[in-house]
Amino acid sequence: MSLETSTSNQAQPRDLREPADRLSATSKDDDQLPSDKEHEVEKSDGEHTPPTDDTDIEKHATSDLPPSAPPEIDLNLVVFDGPDDPGNPLNWPVGKRIAITLSMGMMTFVVTFSSSIFATALQPVAEEFDIGETVATLGVALFLLGFVLGPIAFGPASEVFGRRIPLFSGYIVFAIFQIPVAVAQNVETIMICRFIGGFAASAPLAVVGGSLADIWGPLERAYAICVFAANAFSGPVAGPIIGGFVVQSHLGWRWTQWLTLIMAALFGSIGLFVIPETSAARILQTRAKRLRYETKNWALHAKADENRITVRTILTVYLIRPFVMLAQEPILALVTAYMSFLYGVLYLLFEAYPIEYHEIRGWSLGVSALPFCAFLVGIAGGTALMAYSTATNFKRAYIKHGKAVPEERLPPMIICAVILPIALFWFAWTSQKHISWVPSVIATGFLGGSLLVTFWQGINYLIVWSPLRF
């Protein structure tokens, strides 16, 4: 953003200085206009004498113009230098935005991977610490509880401090807390650290959606959400596949945590170099801070600097308002309840599949998780369906109405909501030892696709749903 020295030796942002110059010129012209009294001669009956020459005509027309009050402009407000400002995240090169999207997707994959890989370690953990497998299941349940509570902190933090700080602070804490679980000598350490790890692991889930909205427009964002959704669902499915072979190998169950730490370090390091701050408000705050030191004009500020963050604001806007909306908006409450049910079904399958293929069919622990590969195929198909729906129905409606139409997200969701119970019944009906494993694996593919599409189309619907666009 270029600056120009004014008569008061203070630098002003260029895009705000130019309107001020125009207003100054207008005010000078207004000062030179003759008053109305010099152009009008009143008749006795109250009518004006019409102008008789060209000068009088011009003056008469000018006198009829209504007075205009110049709008108040804050010359010290730092904004983007027009719609094409390269500093605006929406104007970043496409390749850069794709790299950011993929990197955030892989970070999401790692945290969701960690949520389910511990499910393969339940039996050895129960045997080592002399507890029941039901108690050992708390290692998964507490991690998911952290998933639920974490966004309450990381969501507001991403609005106040920008996206990058909450994203990486939570991600680093998540990675660190894999170590205590891997070296734990008692079950209490495992449970406490799994909860803290889950709480911190929710940072990508809470922040990435907002970051994608920062860098992509309404249509492109839908494709980016497909990438995010595929990684968010592939992670927990890949956990049992890899974890099963790790646990039954000579490495043992503790290496499920070491492996998670290695993956977190790898993709986190890539993210540190690839992912910049994407919040436009935070970028402008940083720019204003830099300009204050460069120009010594300490009045320069961004719009976000005008908002005073207090405990009351955090409580009312970020913590209480979501629950108020949940109580006041039946659509929001119903869609949220349904998506919660779907996510619960996903994690119930992680408990059901070892019973079906390991206990009933007698497959080894690693092989018994391979049917989840069909789940991944279903996820790929569901992602393609969402992308196709975006490129056709959603795009046509957007062009026609000039805005995103949330109802266009519903047709794929409705179709897959019908397929889901059919696939669940199909899997349960064929989960018997005397029936071939093939039908149940085919049902798994339909489960993966229907769960993904139903869940994430619900998310997409809420994203563009009017009451939430505040």
- Do 456 and 229 contact (CB within 8 A), yes or no? yes
- The CA R_g of the chain, rounded to the nearest whole Å, is 30
- Do 378 and 444 contact (CB within 8 A), yes or no? yes
9 Rama class: left (phi>0) / alpha (psi -120 to 50) / beta: left
Q: 5: part of which helix (H) or strand (E)?
A: strand 3-5
Report pLDDT for 1.
40
3-class SS of residue 13: strand
CA dihedral of residues 171, 173, 176, 180 (deg, nearest 10): -130
Report pLDDT for 70.
52
> Measuring CA to CA, which residue among 386, 369, 406, 405 is closest to residue 455?
386
Report pLDDT for 272.
94
DSSP-assigned states of every residue in 443-458: HHHHHHHHHHHHHHHH
Report pLDDT for 71.
56
In the chain, where are the structural domains located?
A: 1-32, 35-70, 92-278, 329-470
3-class SS of residue 369: helix
**Cα–Cα distances in angstroms (integers) from residue 100 to residues 97, 274, 293, in the given order:** 5, 6, 30
- Do 452 and 375 contact (CB within 8 A), yes or no? no
Q: Work out the number of other CB atoms within 10 angstroms of the CB of residue 254.
A: 18
Report pLDDT for 327.
85
- Provide the H-helix boundaries in 296-329: 311-313, 321-328
Q: Which residue bears the tokens 């389910």?
A: 116
Written as six digits, the tokens of 360 are 């009933």
CATH fold of 92-278 reads Growth Hormone; Chain: A; (1.20.1250)
> Measuring CA to CA, which residue among 257, 399, 391, 407 is closest to residue 335?
407
CA atoms within 13 A on the CB side of 454: 26
**Cα–Cα distances in angstroms (integers) from residue 322 to residues 155, 208, 319, 326, in the given order:** 11, 19, 6, 6
Q: Which residues have CB under 8 Å from 86's CB, separation 6+?
A: 92
Q: What is the pLDDT along the chain (470 residues), one digit of tens a residue?
A: 443 333 334 334 444 344 334 334 343 444 444 444 344 434 344 444 444 444 443 444 444 444 554 556 777 787 888 888 888 899 999 999 999 999 999 999 999 999 889 888 888 999 888 888 888 889 999 999 998 888 888 888 888 888 999 999 999 999 999 999 999 999 999 999 999 999 999 999 989 988 998 998 878 888 888 888 889 888 998 988 898 889 888 888 999 999 999 999 999 999 999 999 998 889 988 888 898 998 888 888 888 777 777 777 777 777 787 788 888 888 888 888 998 899 888 888 888 888 888 888 888 878 888 888 999 999 999 989 988 888 888 888 888 887 778 888 888 899 999 999 999 999 999 988 888 889 999 999 999 999 999 988 888 888 777 555 54
